[in-house]
Each structure stands twice: as structure tokens, then as C-alpha cells.
């Protein structure tokens, strides 16, 4: 065979090969493979999977196929033959990843959801009312303090959970010098809590969306008595309340806080706020933690437990008090390096956090951990009717 003939055959072979392979790849492009994506959260937390997005990346073409899962967690896809990276995700809930999957025949892909750890960081006290007026409490004595409430807001960009978060006030009163216990605690970066009310739930029962807020009241009832007492608030529609074992009301529409320690009543603070409020969360068994960190102190109501809470557990706090009476700060500077005051009990003055900005009609509160700058005081408590 002459050289030209050989060359010609060789070229023909190449052309044949090229044209065949080109035909093959065209056939493959047209051929769709059925892939069933079966996504499951084995903890049972996710009930509706349509909140999760799938993102399927074709490594060969560089194209993505995206969409939402069906409510059941199953979605049937038609894919080209190729190598794929599968991703299912909701930044607030969880994700599943399966990279480098060869799709060349009909298949079912099972993906297990890995849940995002529930977090409470970013919750803030956005409004606190302790100095009420002319509303009778259950004991008939502290008549100005019945309609106390606190508003807690998710001031972050992702879902946060109330489960296991505690509302507390400081054992120390910031108008008085420190006793040895408080002095020791503060020098160890700890705060003494006088009362601890804990949100119920086992981890993910009480989610708060960004900018969502909840109201915790001393008692979820209408202190205005159907509007007749205009100086008291209607708190019948709040989300959570504290129900004492005796001589208290229990609104079935408001969830009850877990009482882990009180002074003598279901209060959220003394009228002028000289015990500062804060939120904290201990990961793990809270009762065991509090037992281990209990100090018994004497008070005008007899001996009662106080709890040593370290600074790193504190989510937010506000140093409240009475005008010109804040002499010895109860909270650590890292939690709140300033303070905010009301003039007296019975004045209906409310501590309100300033709004820093409005992003897409969503308010974001100012939180520089300096309540002197972050809060204002204004007269007139809010109502939360049922």
C-alpha cells in the first residue's frame, strides 16, 4: 500500500470515528434518565420538605438544575447522562450533600438531612415594662406591678430558637454596694440571677424568624378590665406567661414558662428596675446546671436561691434602674456597659430599644451592648390584646 493510500485510510478512520462519537454524544444529550431524589430528616423535625431547595450541578455542562422539594421530600427529575453534585439546603434548617454521582441509569438517591444546630444568639430584649400603675396583682399588695411584660426579638438574619432560653434578673440591686457573693461573681465574669424563668421546648419547638418578636408577661390577662382602666395594659394575647403554683391565673392561650427560681412572686423585675434583666442559655441539662450553681441568699422574703451565671452564657442584657440611683452596676460591661433609667414606680415608663435601621421593611434594633445609647424611655405601656 502506498503512503497516500495509507494516509487516506487513516484520515477516513478518523473521520468515521469523529462522526460516530459525535452521533453518540448527541444521542446521550437527548436521552433523559429518571432520578428520584428521596430526602429525609431522620429526627422527624422537618414535616414539610418544600421549604428545602435542591441544587443539582452537572459537572460536564456546568449547568444547575434548581427547585423546591415536594412536601413529602421526594422529587422526580429527568437528567442527562453525566456526573452530578447533589445539594439540598435551607440555611435556617439544614442541608444534605452528595457530590460526584454518576447518572447513567434510572436511580433513586436517598439523602439524609443534617439539621443546623439550634441557636439563640441574636435574641434581644427590645421592650421591657416593669413600672406599671394601678393594676392589682394576684397578691393585692404590689398593685402597680401587675401588667409587667418583656418583648424579645430575633435581631439576626436567621431563625433563632427560644427553647431553653431563660429570662432572669440580677440578684444584686444596682443602687446598693456589692456583697461578697456578688463581688466574687463579677470578678469571675459571672452574674448572680435572682429569678429564672425558662422557655419550654426541647430544642426546636419555638422558632423565631428574623425580626419576629414574642411577648412574655407576668400574667396573660386583661389588666385594663375591658378598657375601663386605661392606665393598665391588656396582656390577654401575649405568647408566654408565668404561672405560680398558687394564687395565680393561667390563660390557656399563653404557654407557661418553666419556673426555675423566683423571689416571692411572678415578677419580671422590681418597679424601678434596679435588678437588671438578661437572657441566657445553658446547653444541656439546665436544672442540673442551676443546682450546681446555686447560692442560698437571705432576703426580706426569707432565704431563696440565687444562681451564678457566667458571662459567656448571656445572650443579651439591659442594665435598668432608677434615675440617679445606679451606683453599682449589676451586669458586666461586656453585656451592657451603660444603663437606662426610669424616674419611679407607677410612672408607666417603658424601656424601649431604638430601631437602628429598616431593611426591606424589616426593623433591625440597635445593639451595641450599651443601653445608654441603645434604649429610650417613653411613657405608656403596650397592649397585647387576645
Nearer to Ca ion, 265 or 326 (CB): 265
Query: C-alpha grid cell for residue 293?
Result: 450553681
Q: Does 236 bind Ca ion (CB under 5 A)?
A: no
How many chain residues are in contact with Ca ion, going by CB under 5 A? 11
Q: Does 373 bind Ca ion (CB under 5 A)?
A: no
- Interacting residue with Ca ion among 367, 381, 383, 384 (CB under 5 A): 367
Nearer to Ca ion, 113 or 277 (CB): 277
Q: Does 247 bind Ca ion (CB under 5 A)?
A: no
337-342-344-348 Cα dihedral, nearest 10 degrees = -140
Q: Does 185 bind Ca ion (CB under 5 A)?
A: no
Q: Does 171 bind Ca ion (CB under 5 A)?
A: no
Residue 311 per-residue DSSP state: G
Q: Does 233 bind Ca ion (CB under 5 A)?
A: no
In terms of DSSP H, where are the helices of the chain?
A: 3-30, 180-187, 286-292, 371-374
Nearer to Ca ion, 85 or 373 (CB): 373
- Interacting residue with Ca ion among 316, 326, 375, 383 (CB under 5 A): 316
Nearer to Ca ion, 282 or 353 (CB): 353
Q: How many residues does this entry show for the chain?
A: 386
- Interacting residue with Ca ion among 157, 181, 325, 369 (CB under 5 A): 369
Nearer to Ca ion, 121 or 179 (CB): 121
- Which stretch in 113-121, 200-208, 253-261, 296-304 sits in contact with Ca ion by CB under 5 A? 253-261
Query: C-alpha grid cell for residue 375?
Result: 434604649
Q: Does 184 bind Ca ion (CB under 5 A)?
A: no
Q: Does 263 bind Ca ion (CB under 5 A)?
A: no
Nearer to Ca ion, 86 or 339 (CB): 339
Q: Which residue is nearest to Ca ion (CB)?
A: 219
Nearer to Ca ion, 46 or 195 (CB): 195
| Residue 60: its H or E element | none
Q: What is the DSSP string of 319-348?
A: -EEETTT--S-SS-TTT-SS-EEES-TTS-
Q: How far apart are CA 309 and CA 301, in angstroms?
A: 22
Provide the minimum distance between the beta carbon of 152 and Ca ion in the complex, in angstroms, as a whole number: 12
Q: How far apart are CA 224 and CA 384, in angstroms?
A: 11
Provide the minimum distance between the beta carbon of 369 and Ca ion in the complex, in angstroms, as a whole number: 5
Query: C-alpha grid cell for residue 134?
Result: 394601678
Residues 314 and 325 sit within 8 Å (Cβ to Cβ): no
Exposure b/e, 120-137, CB count within 10 A at least 16 = b: bebbbbbbbbbbbbebbb
Closest CA relative to residue 254, chosen from 266, 268, 237: 237
Q: Does 251 bind Ca ion (CB under 5 A)?
A: yes
Site for Ca ion in 209-228 (CB under 5 A): 219
Residues 100 and 238 sit within 8 Å (Cβ to Cβ): no
Other beta carbons within 10 angstroms of residue 256's beta carbon come to 16
Q: How far apart are CA 221 and CA 217, in angstroms?
A: 9
Residues 39 and 55 sit within 8 Å (Cβ to Cβ): no
Nearer to Ca ion, 60 or 250 (CB): 250
Q: What is the DSSP string of 70-95?
A: PTTSEEEEEEESEEEEEEEEETTTEE
- Interacting residue with Ca ion among 266, 311, 319, 349 (CB under 5 A): 266
- Interacting residue with Ca ion among 119, 134, 181, 256 (CB under 5 A): 256
Nearer to Ca ion, 256 or 310 (CB): 256
Other beta carbons within 10 angstroms of residue 213's beta carbon come to 18
Q: Does 239 bind Ca ion (CB under 5 A)?
A: no
Provide the minimum distance between the beta carbon of 328 and Ca ion in the complex, in angstroms, as a whole number: 20
Q: Does 265 bind Ca ion (CB under 5 A)?
A: no
Q: Which residues bind Ca ion (CB under 5 A)?
A: 219, 242, 248, 250-251, 254, 256, 266, 316, 367, 369
Amino acid at each position: 500500500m502506498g503512503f497516500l493510500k495509507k494516509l487516506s485510510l487513516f484520515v477516513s478512520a478518523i473521520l468515521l470515528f469523529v462522526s460516530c462519537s459525535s452521533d453518540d454524544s448527541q444521542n446521550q444529550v437527548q436521552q433523559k434518565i429518571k432520578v428520584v431524589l428521596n430526602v429525609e430528616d431522620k429526627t422527624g423535625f422537618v414535616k414539610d420538605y418544600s421549604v428545602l431547595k435542591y441544587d443539582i450541578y452537572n459537572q460536564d455542562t456546568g449547568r444547575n438544575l434548581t427547585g423546591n422539594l415536594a412536601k413529602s421530600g421526594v422529587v422526580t427529575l429527568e437528567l442527562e447522562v453525566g456526573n452530578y453534585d447533589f445539594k439540598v439546603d435551607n440555611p435556617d434548617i439544614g442541608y444534605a450533600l452528595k457530590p460526584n454521582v454518576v447518572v447513567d441509569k434510572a436511580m433513586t438517591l436517598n439523602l439524609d438531612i443534617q439539621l443546623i444546630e439550634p441557636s439563640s444568639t441574636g435574641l434581644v430584649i427590645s421592650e421591657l415594662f416593669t413600672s406599671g400603675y394601678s393594676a392589682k396583682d394576684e397578691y393585692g399588695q404590689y398593685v402597680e406591678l401587675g401588667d409587667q411584660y418583656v418583648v424579645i426579638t430575633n435581631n439576626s438574619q436567621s431563625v433563632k430558637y427560644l427553647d431553653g432560653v431563660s429570662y432572669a434578673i440580677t440578684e444584686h440591686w444596682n443602687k446598693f454596694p456589692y456583697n461578697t457573693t456578688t463581688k466574687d461573681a463579677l470578678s469571675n465574669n459571672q452574674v448572680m440571677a435572682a429569678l429564672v424563668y425558662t422557655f419550654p421546648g426541647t430544642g426546636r419547638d419555638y422558632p423565631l424568624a428574623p425580626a419576629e418578636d414574642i411577648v412574655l408577661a407576668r400574667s396573660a390577662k386583661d389588666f385594663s378590665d375591658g378598657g375601663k382602666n386605661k392606665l393598665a395594659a391588656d396582656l390577654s394575647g401575649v405568647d408566654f406567661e408565668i404561672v405560680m403554683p398558687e394564687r395565680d391565673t393561667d390563660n390557656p392561650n399563653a404557654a407557661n414558662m418553666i419556673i426555675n427560681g423566683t423571689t416571692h412572686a411572678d415578677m419580671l423585675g422590681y418597679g424601678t428596675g434596679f435588678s437588671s434583666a438578661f437572657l441566657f442559655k445553658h446547653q444541656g441539662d439546665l436544672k442540673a446546671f442551676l443546682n450546681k450553681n446555686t447560692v442560698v441568699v437571705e432576703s426580706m422574703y426569707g432565704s431563696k436561691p440565687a444562681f451564678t451565671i457566667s458571662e459567656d452564657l448571656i445572650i443579651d442584657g439591659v442594665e435598668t434602674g432608677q434615675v440617679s440611683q445606679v451606683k453599682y452596676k449589676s451586669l458586666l460591661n461586656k453585656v451592657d456597659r451603660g444603663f437606662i433609667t426610669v424616674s419611679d414606680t407607677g410612672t408607666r415608663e417603658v424601656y424601649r430599644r431604638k430601631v437602628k435601621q429598616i431593611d426591606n421593611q424589616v426593623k433591625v434594633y440597635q445593639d451595641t451592648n450599651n443601653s445608654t445609647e441603645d434604649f429610650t424611655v417613653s411613657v405608656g405601656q403596650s397592649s397585647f390584646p387576645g
